[in-house]
Amino acid sequence: MSTTRSFRPPGASSTPRAARRTSRLRRALRSWQLYVLLLPAIIHVILFKYWPMYGAQIAFRNYNPADGFAGSPWAGLEHFARFIGSFQFERVVMNTLTLNSLGLLIAFPVPIILALIVNQLQSERFKKFTQTVLYSPSFISVVVIVGMIHLLFSPRAGLVNNVIELFGGDPIFFMGMPEWFRPLYIGSDIWQNAGFSMIIYLAALTAISPALHEAARVDGANKLQRIWHIDIPGIMPVVTILFILAIGNLFNLGFEKVLLMQTDLNLQTSEVIQTYVYSVGLQQAQFSYSAAIGLFNSLINLVLLLTFNWIARKAGQSSLW
Partner 1 sequence: MTQTVAPPTLPPTRKLPSSPAPQPRPRRSLVSRYADPLFNVIAVGLLLVAIVAIIYPMYFILIASVSEPSEILNGNVWVVPRGFTLEGYVQILSDAGILRGFANSVLYTVVGTGVSVAVILAAAYALSRKDLYGRTPLMLLFVITMFIDGGLIARYLVVRDLGMLDTMWAVVLPGAVGVWNLIIARAFFENNVPGELRDAAQMDGASDFRFFFSIVLPLSKPLIFLMIMIHLVANWNAFFDALIFLDSEDKYPLQLVLRNVLVQSEVSAAGGTGALDSYAAAQRLGELIKYGMIVISTIPLLIVLPFMQKHFTKGAMLGAVKN
Binders in 13-52 for partner 1, by CB under 8 A: 24, 27-28, 31, 33-38, 40-42, 44-45, 47-52
Cβ neighbours of residue 210 closer than 8 Å, sequence gap 6 or more: none
279 binds partner 1, rule: CB under 8 A:
no
What x-and-dash track marks residues 184-213 binding partner 1 by CB under 8 A? -------x---xx--xx--xx---------
The verdict on 133 binding partner 1 (CB under 8 A) reads yes
Asked if 99 interacts with partner 1 (CB under 8 A), we say no
- 149-186: b or e for each residue (b if 16 or more CB lie within 10 Å)? beebbbeeebebbeeeeeeeeebeebbeeeebbbebbb
Residue 62 sits in the site that holds partner 1 (CB under 8 A): no
Q: CA-CA distance, 83 to 297, in Å (whole number)? A: 12
Decide: is 224 part of the binding site for partner 1 (CB under 8 A): yes
The sign one gets for the Cα dihedral 52, 101, 113, 142 is: negative
The residues, any chain, with a CB within 8 Å of residue 292's CB and separated by 6 or more, are 59, 60, 79, 80, 82, 83
- Tell me: does residue 236 bind partner 1 (CB under 8 A): no
- The number of beta carbons lying within 10 Å of the beta carbon of residue 280 is 20
DSSP H or E segment with residue 248:
helix 232-248
- Interface with partner 1 (CB under 8 A), residue from 19, 112, 114, 246: 114
The closest alpha carbon to 104, from 175, 185, 199, 179, belongs to 185
Phi/psi of residue 61, nearest 5 degrees: -130, 175
Contact call for residue 93 and partner 1 (CB under 8 A)? no
241 forms part of the interface with partner 1 (CB under 8 A): yes
Q: According to the binding rule CB under 8 A, does residue 103 interact with partner 1?
A: no
Any contact of residue 90 with partner 1 (CB under 8 A)? no
* Closer residue to partner 1 in complex, CB, 10/188: 188
Q: Which is nearer to partner 1, 14 or 122 (CB)?
A: 122
For the bound state, the minimum distance from the C-beta of residue 229 to partner 1, rounded and expressed in Å, comes to 14
CB of 10 to partner 1, least distance (A): 25
Query: Does position 125 bind partner 1 by CB under 8 A?
Result: no
Verify binding: residue 118, partner 1, rule CB under 8 A. yes
The region of 5-13, 86-94, 124-132, 264-272 touching partner 1 under the rule CB under 8 A is: 124-132
Nearer to partner 1, 10 or 77 (CB): 77
Residues 6 or more apart whose CB falls under 8 angstroms from that of 81 comprise: none
Write out the binding residues for partner 1, residues 281-310 only, by CB under 8 A: 281-282, 287, 290-291, 294-295, 297-298, 302, 305
Tell me the torsion sign for CA atoms 193, 194, 195, 196.
positive
Site for partner 1 contains 98 (CB under 8 A): no
Please tell me what DSSP assigns to residue 74.
B
Smallest distance from partner 1 to CB 81, Å: 18
Angstrom distance (rounded) from CA 222 to CA 230 = 11
Do residues 82 and 289 touch, judged by C-beta distance below 8 A? yes
# residues near partner 1 by CB under 8 A: 92
| Min dist. Cβ of residue 98 to partner 1 (A) | 22
